[in-house]
């Protein structure tokens, strides 16, 4: 046997210069990948910013007119570029879908976190995840195939006229689409509420209903709010379902059964139209995109800030 | 009863037994109802599309068709959709070009976004420490995950298709531009999933490898990544399946409405399965609705099986498969 530790006899080789060089190389490469994510954000900011500036430089519209204009008719003469009808359309659909998704999503989260046993949970959670995996184009088609005809038929019985393209059916399918998001985010929040709070309430004789609604949900309220805001922001950025279901009619109208155009739908309609690249109409989609980006970004930042504060509270 | 004295006239305690006994199960059923409604929605989505394929539009109503004939017809429809290219006639139209384009996109998106996403996650978890730089990058990734997909489309249009205005950088409306855009879109998903998988690997594994003289990269390559691979795989499949189902950004980055030539390389014109479905769904003619339904059925089969696979991998890993691969320290042996 060799004597242990004798350098001459040992087959161990010191990691030479090559290994050290490799370490540096890998470190640098991985760091550059991380920097790439920063560059993506920077790219979005630069692209949206510079093209928006180009749009306003064409002299068709001033930023103030753009933000407060109530008509969006790029093909009219003179063309009108006002973002408010698009913002209105977006808000109608977002608020409508939230009215559907937030209560159902929260109730589902409470069920999964407070009521369901391990077996039920392990079946229901994957199904909800599958629902989240359905692409948005499918929801748009569902609106055309099922939701709109159903609405037209049932509301036709009571004499309400429903257009082929309408905000209501878009809101319904977008609502269905964001349920899994609300329920899975809220469930994480509810499960993070310390067990001790529940036990204390049970010890005082509270029923499960009282524990859920008066202890667990209030304790997780800020986190639930964060998940609501995130779902809201997702609904704002939703494109294909809205394009197919709500149509392309930019108007400010209180009638939810009429067609509206959202910001995302406007971007798609200009892209598939024949406005040449660099024309004011084509550049206007970057201005609309900037408004869309800023709206979702601010909502995401608010939600992130709430979640961070919430985590500090309980862990 | 011992509780009697509590409800005397001098206390304001009201037990409300009856209301509480009613509310408790009621609330339980409401919550259960909400959960089952969401499950029902998934069934409705699949059921409605399936029915549309089985009972195509434009057939004569009142004519009795046997269920067996319907199923045969549906299979014929699907196989036609898979083999035919887009045509002017709805009865001849199919998704062949879209399917092949989507396969190309899948290949390039995986080739681009997986190394970059996993690499960025490894950097953040293993090289960064707990610095201000890390939390900055982290916050940036979280915000990127919330950017609407159509904004990525605008980015791809200017950055890849038009090369920021430089002629020599512009890729034009080609497959690679679409793949790059989709890769950026799902990068945050892959980074976040990989980070979670890396965090779940016990610290002892890292320390053991380092103690035996492995360098940091050797430790990551030979021990950390294999141990975290189920989690990474799950996140990758979920991210990539999202990319395959995306329509909006591709519309911006020049995916063609109807393409008759199958793309043969990264610089060819392209389209995608969801894009072709979109243009069929948009057609007011009833016959196209059936074509769209068939396409959606194909897309859903692909995506739901990918999602299902991801869930399966994760459940197997969390059921102790993962911890068996990582030897745990048993109590007593070290004393």
Could you report the per-residue pLDDT of B148-172, keeping only the tens digit for each? 999 999 999 999 988 877 877 788 8
- Helix A280-314 vs helix A221-237: crossing angle, to nearest 10: 170
Chain B hits for A238, Cβ within 8 Å: 148
Q: Which chain B residues are within 8 Å of A207, Cβ to Cβ?
A: 20, 23-24
* Gap between the Cα atoms of A89 and A258, Å rounded: 10
A233 near A304, Cβ under 8 Å? no
pLDDT tens digit string along B199-248? 999 999 999 999 998 889 999 999 999 999 998 998 899 899 999 999 99
Question: pLDDT > 90: what percent of chain B?
Answer: 44
Average pLDDT, chain B: 84
**Residues A72-314, CATH architecture:** Orthogonal Bundle (1.10)
Centroid of chain to Cα A252: 24
Does the pLDDT at position A106 exceed 70?
yes
Q: Which residues of B touch A124 (CB under 8 A)?
A: 35, 39
Residue B100's pLDDT is: 93
- Indicate which CATH number applies to the domain containing B130: 1.10.3720.10
Choose among A44, A114, A240: nearest Cβ to B248. A240
Query: Which residues of chain B does A127 touch, with a Cβ-Cβ cutoff of 8 Å?
Result: 39, 42
Is residue A12 classed exposed, middle or buried when 0-12, 13-18 and 19+ CB atoms within 10 A define those classes?
A: exposed
Of the partner residues B48, B116, B191, the one whose CB lies closest to the CB of residue A142: B48
Q: Which of B24, B122, B158 sits opposite A51 (nearest CB)?
A: B158
Highest-confidence segment of B4-13, B126-135, B142-151: B142-151
Put simply, the answer to whether B119 touches A30 (Cβ < 8 Å) is yes
B111's CB contacts (< 8 A; 6+ apart) are none
- The pLDDT of residue B254 is 83
Here the tokens at position A222 are 């800020």
Full DSSP string of B147-177: S-HHHHHHHHIIIIISGGG-TTT---S-HHH
Give B312's Cβ-side CA count (13 Å radius).
6
| pLDDT for residue B318 is more than 80 | no
Q: For an interface test with A, give the residue of B13, B29, B35 to mutate (most A CBs within 10 A).
A: B35
Between B194 and B283, the higher pLDDT residue:
B194
Structure tokens at B201: 């690997």
- B16-68 pLDDT tens trace: 888 888 888 999 999 999 999 988 988 998 998 888 888 876 555 556 677 78
Instruction: Check whether B179 has a pLDDT greater than 50.
Output: yes
Partner A contacted by B248 (CB < 8 A) = yes
User: Highest mean pLDDT range out of A222-236, A268-282, B50-64?
Assistant: A222-236
* Of residues A47, A122, A292, nearest to B159 (C-beta): A47
Over residues B84-92, mean pLDDT: 77
Long-range contacts of B329-334 (CB under 8 A, 24+ apart): B329/B204
Q: Which residues of A touch B311 (CB under 8 A)?
A: 126, 129-130
Q: Burial-class residue A129 by CB neighbours within 10 Å (0-12, 13-18, 19+).
A: middle
Rounded CA separation A295/B140 (Å):
16
Q: Do B187 and A37 touch (CB under 8 A)?
A: yes
Position B144 confidence tier, pLDDT thresholds 50, 70, 90: very high
Using omega within 30 degrees of 0 as the cis cutoff, is the peptide bond preceding B171 cis?
no
Q: For chain B, report the end-to-end CA distance as a whole number of angstroms.
A: 56
Number of domains in chain B: 1
Six token digits for residue A133: 């995996």
Name the residue in chain A with its Cα closest to that of B240.
A133
Phi-psi region of A126 (alpha: psi -120 to 50; beta: other; left: phi over 0): alpha
All residues at 6 or more sequence positions from B69 whose CB lies less than 8 Å from its CB, including other chains: none
DSSP output for B244-300: HH--HHHHHTT--SS--SPP-STTS----HHHHHHHHHH--SHHHHHHHHHHHHHHH
pLDDT higher than threshold 60 for residue B298: yes
Quickly tell me which residue has 């037209």 as its tokens. A152
- Min distance A55 CA to chain B CA atoms (Å): 14
Mean pLDDT of A193-217: 92
pLDDT average, residue stretch B118-124: 95
User: Do the Cβ atoms of B160 and B181 come closer than 8 Å?
Assistant: yes
Give dist(CA B106, CA A116) in Å, integer: 37
- Residue A312: its pLDDT value, please? 65
- Residues A293, B148: C-beta atoms closer than 8 Å: yes
Instruction: Supply the DSSP symbol for B7.
Output: G
Inter-chain touch A138–B299, beta carbons under 8 Å: yes
Burial of A66 (C-beta count, 10 Å sphere; 0-12/13-18/19+): buried
Q: Do A233 and B146 touch (CB under 8 A)?
A: yes
Distance CA A274, CA A59 (A): 21
Q: Which residue has the higher pLDDT, A297 or A70?
A: A297
Per the domain annotation, does B313 fall within a domain? yes
Chain A CB contacts of B273 below 8 Å? none
Q: Where are the alpha helices (DSSP H) in A80-207?
A: 84-110, 118-132, 136-142, 148-157, 167-191, 195-203
The DSSP symbol for A315 reads: -
The mean pLDDT value for A97-123 works out to 92
**How close does chain B come to A158, measured CA to CA in Å?**
25
Report DSSP letters for A18-82, one per residue: HHHHHHHHHHHHHHHHHHHHHHHHHHHHHHHHHHHHHHHHTTS--HHHHHH---EETTSSS-EE-
Q: d(Cα B306, Cα B303) in Å, to the nearest integer?
A: 5
Distance between CA atoms of residues A92 and A254, nearest Å:
9
Domain ranges (residues) in chain A: 72-314
* Residue A312 to chain B, least CA–CA distance (Å): 15
Nearest CA in chain B to A173: B41
Q: What pairing do the DSSP bridges indicate for beta strands A72-73 and A80-81?
A: antiparallel
d(CA B221, CA A141): 45
Best A110, A138, A187 residue to mutate vs chain B (most B CBs within 10 Å): A138
Cβ–Cβ under 8 Å, residues B230 and B197? yes
Task: Assign A73 a pLDDT band (cuts: 50, 70, 90).
Answer: confident
Q: Provide mean pLDDT across the span B292-319.
A: 87
Q: Chain A contacts of B44, Cβ < 8 Å?
A: 142, 146
Region A25-44 average pLDDT? 94
To the nearest whole Å, the CA of A219 is away from the closest chain B CA by 18
Size of interface A-B (CB pairs under 8 A): 262
Confidence of residue A10 (pLDDT cuts 50, 70, 90): low
pLDDT at position B210, please?
Answer: 92
- Give the integer Cα–Cα distance in Å for A163 and A277: 33
Is pLDDT larger for residue B170 or for residue B178?
Answer: B178
pLDDT at A132 over 90: no
Which of B128, B147, B289 comes nearest A293 by C-beta?
Answer: B147
Taking only residues 72 to 91 of chain B, the set having a beta carbon closer than 8 angstroms to any beta carbon of chain A reads: none
For A304-312, the CB contacts below 8 A with 24+ separation are A304/A226, A304/B139, A304/B142, A304/B143, A306/A222, A306/A223, A306/A225, A306/A226, A306/A229, A307/A222, A307/A223, A307/A226, A309/A222, A310/A189, A310/A220, A310/A222, A310/A223, A310/A226
Q: What is the DSSP letter of B4?
A: G
Mutation target to probe the B interface, by most B beta carbons within 10 A, among A21, A117, A135 is A135
Residue B22 lies in a domain: no
- Partner-chain contact A131 B38, CB within 8 Å: yes
pLDDT of residue B59: 55
- CB contact B302 to A (< 8 Å): no
The answer for B 267-286 residues in CB contact with A (under 8 A) is: 274, 277-278, 281-282
Domain of residue B172: give its range: 78-323
**Any CB–CB contact under 8 A between B37 and chain A?**
yes
Q: What is the mean pLDDT of residues A183-203?
A: 92
CB contact under 8 A, A264 and B300: no
């Amino acid at each position: 046997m060799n004597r242990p530790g004798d350098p001459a006899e040992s087959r161990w080789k010191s990691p030479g210069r090559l290994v050290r060089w490799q370490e540096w190389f890998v470190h640098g490469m991985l760091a550059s990948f991380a920097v790439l994510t920063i560059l993506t954000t920077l790219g979005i900011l630069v692209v949206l910013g510079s093209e928006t500036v180009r749009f306003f430089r064409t002299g068709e519209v001033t930023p103030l007119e753009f933000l407060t204009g109530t008509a969006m008719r790029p093909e009219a003469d003179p063309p009108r570029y006002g973002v408010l009808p698009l913002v209105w359309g977006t808000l109608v659909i977002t608020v409508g879908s939230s009215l559907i998704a937030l209560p159902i999503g929260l109730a589902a989260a409470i069920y999964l976190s407070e009521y369901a046993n391990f077996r039920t949970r392990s079946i229901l959670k994957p199904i909800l995840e599958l629902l989240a995996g359905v692409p948005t184009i499918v929801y748009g088609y569902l609106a055309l195939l099922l939701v709109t005809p159903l609405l037209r038929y049932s509301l036709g019985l009571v004499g309400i006229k429903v257009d082929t393209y309408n905000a209501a059916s878009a809101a319904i399918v977008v609502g269905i689409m964001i349920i899994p998001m609300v329920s899975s985010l809220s469930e994480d929040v509810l499960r993070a509420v310390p067990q001790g709070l529940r036990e204390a309430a049970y010890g005082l004789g509270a029923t499960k209903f009282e524990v859920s609604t008066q202890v667990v949900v209030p304790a997780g309220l800020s986190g639930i709010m964060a998940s609501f805001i995130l779902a809201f922001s997702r609904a704002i950025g939703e494109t294909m379902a809205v394009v197919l279901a709500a149509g392309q009619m930019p108007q400010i109208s209180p009638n939810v059964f009429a067609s509206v155009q959202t910001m995302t739908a406007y971007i798609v309609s200009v892209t598939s139209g024949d406005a040449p690249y660099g024309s004011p109409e084509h550049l206007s989609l970057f201005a609309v995109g900037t408004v869309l980006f800023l709206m979702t970004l601010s909502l995401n930042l608010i939600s992130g800030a709430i979640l961070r504060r919430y985590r500090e509270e309980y862990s | 009863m011992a509780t009697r004295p509590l409800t005397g006239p001098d206390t304001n305690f009201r037990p409300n037994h009856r209301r509480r006994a009613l509310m408790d199960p009621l609330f339980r059923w409401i919550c259960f109802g909400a959960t089952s409604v969401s499950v029902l929605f998934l069934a409705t989505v699949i059921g409605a599309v399936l029915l549309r394929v089985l009972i195509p539009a434009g057939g004569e109503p009142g004519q009795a068709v046997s269920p067996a004939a319907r199923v045969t017809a549906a299979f014929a429809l699907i196989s036609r959709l898979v083999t035919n290219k887009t045509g002017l006639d709805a009865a001849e139209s199919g998704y062949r070009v879209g399917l092949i384009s989507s396969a190309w996109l899948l290949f390039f998106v995986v080739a681009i976004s997986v190394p970059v996403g996993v690499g960025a996650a490894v950097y953040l978890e293993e090289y960064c420490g707990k610095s201000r730089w890390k939390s900055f990058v982290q916050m940036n990734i979280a915000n990127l995950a919330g950017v609407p997909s159509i904004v990525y489309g605008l980015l791809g249009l200017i950055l890849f298709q038009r090369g920021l205005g430089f002629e020599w950088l512009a890729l034009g409306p080609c497959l690679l531009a679409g793949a790059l855009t989709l890769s950026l879109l799902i990068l945050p998903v892959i980074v976040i999933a990989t980070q979670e998988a890396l965090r779940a690997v016990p610290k002892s594994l890292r320390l053991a490898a380092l103690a035996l003289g492995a360098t940091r990269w050797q430790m990551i390559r030979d021990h950390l990544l294999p141990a975290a691979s189920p989690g990474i795989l799950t996140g990758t499949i979920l991210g990539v399946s999202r990319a395959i189902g995306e329509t909006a950004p591709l519309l911006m980055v020049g995916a063609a409405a109807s393409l008759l030539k199958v793309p043969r390389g990264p610089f060819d014109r392209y389209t995608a399965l969801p894009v072709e479905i979109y243009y069929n769904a948009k057609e007011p003619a009833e016959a196209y609705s059936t074509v769209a339904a068939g396409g959606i059925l194909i897309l859903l089969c692909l995506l739901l099986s990918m999602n299902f696979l991801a869930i399966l991998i994760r459940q197997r890993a969390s059921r102790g498969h993962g911890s068996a691969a990582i030897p745990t320290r048993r109590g007593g042996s070290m004393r």
